[in-house]
Amino acid sequence: MLDTHRRPVVIALALASSMLASCSSDKSTAPRIVPAIGCSTPSSTTLDVLQGRVVSFPASCARLENSGRYLAVPQYAVQGSTPVSTAFSLTTAASASAMIAAGDVPVAAVGSSSRGTVTIGATFDARLRRLESELSQQSTPLARNLALSRAAVEASVVAADSTRSFNVLANLDGTSLVSTTAKLKYEGSRVLIYEDTGVVYHYTDAEFAAFGRLFDDVLYPIDTAAFGSPSDIDGNGQIIVLMSQRINMLTKASDCPSKGFVAGYFYGLDLLPDRQGSNRGEVFYTIAPDSAATFSCAHTKAYVNRSMPATFIHEFQHMISFNQHVLVRNGNSELAWLNEGLSHIAEELGSKYYETKYPPPTGRTNPSQLFPDSAQGFGPPQFANAYNYLANSTKHSVTTFEGLGTLEERGGVWLFLRWLADQKGEGIFRQLVQTNRRGVDNVSVAAGEPFAALFGDFGIATYTDSVDGVPRSSIPARYRFTSRNTRQVFARLFPMKPNPITPTALGCGATATATMVQGTQAYFAVGGATGCPAQTRLEFVPSANVSSLAPQLGLFRLP
């Protein structure tokens, strides 16, 4: 008998007709969690080819139709404060009396011990989000209302080449500030650009004007249309962009080759005028060109030109989110995983802008490129991170960051949000930002479905977005990405292995054992073998903490 703390999640691959009817409503809105069928219940209707189900805990046992081929996706559909690996087994057995104990006949140990990819820039970004969470909890509603009312008294006229001082972070821990002076170089309708007086390699007035128009006319509208409005606590109606060598100096030159660097940031402290060190305005900080590596690693003008737009559109989402969650609704700042995911969505939206502007083969150095040249810094990095997440999904969580976050985790949450928008519409991004809800609760309310239901079908769709030998249009929209062909993009970025997912084959009377962190899934290929007993069952058994992990199994009938 199984220990009560290791009760199985069991799935019937031959589902009852009444159960099928209960899920026949619109797949874009209907909850996808359905109960498993006990072994004593007759199975009269099979799961159709190219259809899926998500089965949630608890259940006793179920029958498996041995003539079908299935994708099985066990998941822990929760979020947490720290990723913790929990063991599980997935077993096929002939009957209750012949049930194989977890670990007796291991097919494979799924996953590896590799850790995620951590960069200085991503770590610094996530650290600021955590500091903002502390600030938002410490700040009183009165102080937040003060921030919103400052617009009535703080507005002032600025003149070309006028100077002002800024408080800039002096270390990666966010614990120290330094004062610096900068000169106004561009004044647009939405953006003011300041250059630190300590910058050595200067942009020309024409180059500043080109940057300003990019921010004013392209990047600012993309973010505000998708997520909502920023605050205006200084009353100038504009976002300040500060280009400073102080940002270069946050990273040691010796760290750049292996760990990357901080390209720019936003910090919510600036939107809390009652806090010491606040610049009392909306400020985006960015590196300055430094070809000779005077302050840290070398950054040419050409590199800054390429990197700054994606960094700005990413950080601007954080600025809007802080305003909408903290200042407007007196809530806490968004949880790091969802906040970062939405900022990576912002980057992808920048890519979509240029993809629309330059349809193939225009705007491309090579006419066969999937992405135009102008989209390269926005879109491809999201797919690369998502690929690396899927390639080792049991080690990387969508909903629970390791430390201050890895690139794989960011890729996972971006991929989930892209699928979510494909199901619910792009307007869901605005719903996720304009609220005081956070994390999985925020997602559930905005989408109108339980998070587990969404996450279950997302786990299936990451594999079934493209099924070999099947037209993509034949796969129900719930089980694919409607705005992106992920396999096509992966094939361009990783031509040696276009599909990052390799399901573990699970034959008759066998057990696969593995560990998996919360907020992710594993992949198995089940069934289709000859010689299986007529009443084979499939059982998913987490080792512990069953209720808190929300274990569930996604299932998709393959052709």
At 138 the pLDDT is 72
Q: What is the pLDDT of residue 2?
A: 33
Residue corresponding to tokens 């050409």: 302
- pLDDT of 111-147, one tens digit each? 344 567 878 888 888 888 888 888 877 765 555 555 5
Is the pLDDT at 360 greater than 70, yes or no? Answer: yes
Averaged pLDDT, 421-433 = 98
Task: Give the span between the Cα atoms of 398 and 455, in whole angstroms.
Answer: 10
Q: Which residue has the higher pLDDT, 355 or 275?
A: 355
Using N-to-C axis directions, what is the helix angle for 336-357 and 220-227, rounded to 10°? 130
Residues of 435-464 as b/e, b for ≥16 C-beta within 10 angstroms? bebbbbebbbebbebbbbbbbbbbbbbbbb
Residue 544 is predicted with a pLDDT of: 67
> What is the rounded distance in angstroms from the CA atom of residue 551 to the CA atom of residue 553?
7
Q: Peptide bond before 141: cis, by omega within 30 degrees of 0?
A: no
Compute φ and ψ for 19, nearest 5 degrees. Answer: -70, -40
pLDDT band of residue 156 (cuts 50, 70, 90) is low
Q: Which residues pair with 505 in a beta bridge?
A: 525
Mean pLDDT of 425-443: 97
Angle at 191 between CA 185 and CA 196, to 5 degrees: 35
Q: What is the mean pLDDT of residues 90-107?
A: 45
Torsion angle, alpha carbons of 279, 340, 243, 196, to 10? 40
CA-based nearest residue to 170, from 277, 321, 85, 84: 277
Classify the phi-psi angles of 293: left when phi > 0, otherwise alpha if psi is within -120 to 50, otherwise beta. left
Query: 8 near 96, Cβ under 8 Å?
Result: no
Residue 403, amino acid: G
* pLDDT tens figures, 248-269: 999 898 888 888 888 899 999 9
How many residues make up the chain in this entry? Answer: 559
User: 118 vs 315, which has greater pLDDT?
Assistant: 315
SS3 of 79-125: CCCCCCCEEEEEEEECCCCCCCCCCCCEEEEECCCCCCCCCHHHHHH
Q: How far is CA 502 from CA 73, 105, 417, 524, in A?
A: 12, 20, 23, 8
Given a cut of 90, is residue 271 above it in pLDDT? Answer: yes
Picking from 42-56, 302-316, 347-361, which range would have the lowest pLDDT averaged per residue? 42-56
Interatomic CA distance for residues 406 and 364, integer angstroms: 31
Q: Above pLDDT 70, what percent of the chain?
A: 79
**Does the structure show a pLDDT above 60 at 534?**
no
**Upper half-sphere CA count for residue 501 (Cβ side, 13 Å):** 25
Statement: the pTM of the whole predicted model exceeds 0.95:
no
The answer to whether 168 touches 246, Cβ cutoff 8 Å, is yes
Sequence-distant (6+) residues with CB within 8 A of 293 are 253
Residue 440 has pLDDT above 60, yes or no: yes
User: What's the confidence (pLDDT) of residue 27?
Assistant: 40
Burial class (CB in 10 A: 0-12, 13-18, 19+), 358: middle
Instruction: Return the domain boundaries, the chain.
Output: 4-112+515-558, 120-124+140-307
pLDDT reported for residue 78: 93
User: Which DSSP state fits 204?
Assistant: P
Q: Helix or strand or coil: residue 10? A: strand
What does the pLDDT read at residue 480?
97
Query: What pLDDT sits at residue 58?
Result: 56
Bridge partners, residue 252, by sequence:
none
